[in-house]
Amino acid sequence: MLAFTLRRVLQAIGVMIVVGALSFTMFRFAGDPISQIVSQDASSAERAEIRKSLGLDDPVLVQFGRYFINAARFDFGMSYRFREPVAKLLLERMPATLELATCATVLAMTLGILLGVYTALRRNSFLATLLSAVSLIGISLPTFLIGILLIYLFAVVLGWLPSYGRGDTVRLGWWTTGLLTTSGLKSLIMPSITLGLFQMTLIMRLVRAEMLEVLRTDYIRFARARGLTTRAIHFGHALKNTLVPVITVAGLQFGSVIAFAIITETVFQWPGMGLLFVQAVQNVDIPIMAAYLLVVSLIFVTINLIVDILYTLVDPRLHAGAARRT
């Protein structure tokens, strides 16, 4: 177990070094940092001076090392456009993205599990068939179209919900939250649905497939024979056994939820990291792009690592398999 964990951690560190090198290459070679800092009419002597003071003349490996140490201290340089430290910009917007992603995931898990169980238990009912058809169409609809459709329906036509932004937020230390105000909660509804819909259909299909599989097993048949109530069989035994893969998938998907938040945040003008990144791509604000790549990769790699390790803890069969391989 220890060997497995260690190997996974080393692997994760390897990935982060590769991503860091990519991020550094972008930061250093895409666009000249000097021309972004000095004015147009600076002499070449002045430019050389600044080059030297920024350490741009040092060997590339030294620069990479310095970049890595700075990044580890959460220092990603200055944004070209905002003239502010990138770390501060990212930190300001992180709560918005994390709240949105968490709400979307919770929504997707709850609805996905409920609907998945329903469609598995009442496989041939009208509603189950309808849900499967709708989920297929839901997968084909682009995220941004779903968002626009929701805005048109609930903000333009009905006027029930705000169409963009985060509403009023409350400050808790450095964290700003929209969960404590009515307008903040109302603003959260449509973006969460838009972001969570894809995961919901995914989880629904997964739960349905797993439930159908488990319901065919011998221990369920045996539980029936023992005369347990249907309720106890379905929820106490069958559902419990489907939850391990579901939680794994949901955990792994949390990373892509953060990535897909880019689209949702643009549609709803949600002031999160994704919107900052999209604007950075449009303005060719390389430091923000490089830092976003690093931060999102770190979140991805950490989640993958945790899920992998938890999985072996939960499922001893995998643990044994991993031990045998090493």
Smallest gap from residue 144 Cβ to other proteins (A): 5
Smallest gap from residue 202 Cβ to other proteins (A): 13
Cβ atoms of residues 70 and 24 within 8 Å = no
Measured from the CB atom, the residue of 281 and 320 that comes closer to other proteins is 281
Measured from the CB atom, the residue of 6 and 136 that comes closer to other proteins is 136
Q: CB within 8 A of 135, min separation 6: which ones?
A: 201, 204, 205
Smallest gap from residue 97 Cβ to other proteins (A): 13
Nearest partner of 150 among 117, 208, 107, 190, judged by Cα = 190
Q: Could you give the CA distance from residue 96 to residue 166 in angstroms, rounded to a whole number? A: 8
Nearest partner of 188 among 90, 296, 92, 95, judged by Cα = 95
Rounded to 10 degrees, what is the CA torsion of 98, 71, 86, 53?
A: 180
Smallest gap from residue 54 Cβ to other proteins (A): 19
Separate counts of helices (H) and strands (E) for the chain: 14, 2
Measured from the CB atom, the residue of 124 and 140 that comes closer to other proteins is 140
Find tokens 């790549």 and name the residue.
Answer: 293
The first and second tokens of residue 296, run together, are 């999102």
Smallest gap from residue 137 Cβ to other proteins (A): 7
Measured from the CB atom, the residue of 255 and 272 that comes closer to other proteins is 255
Q: Could you give the CA distance from residue 218 to residue 164 in angstroms, rounded to a whole number? A: 52
Residues at the interface with other proteins (CB under 8 A): 15, 18-19, 26, 30-31, 136-137, 139-145, 148-149, 151-152, 156, 163, 255-256, 259-260, 262-263, 266-267, 277-278, 280-282, 284, 286, 289, 293, 296-297, 300-301, 304
Smallest gap from residue 168 Cβ to other proteins (A): 22
Measured from the CB atom, the residue of 48 and 156 that comes closer to other proteins is 156
The first and second tokens of residue 261, run together, are 């938040």
Q: Could you give the CA distance from residue 107 to residue 101 in angstroms, rounded to a whole number? A: 10
The first and second tokens of residue 150, run together, are 């929701």
Cβ atoms of residues 190 and 173 within 8 Å = no
H-only helix segments in 141-181: 143-150
Smallest gap from residue 6 Cβ to other proteins (A): 19
Measured from the CB atom, the residue of 32 and 46 that comes closer to other proteins is 32
Measured from the CB atom, the residue of 144 and 175 that comes closer to other proteins is 144
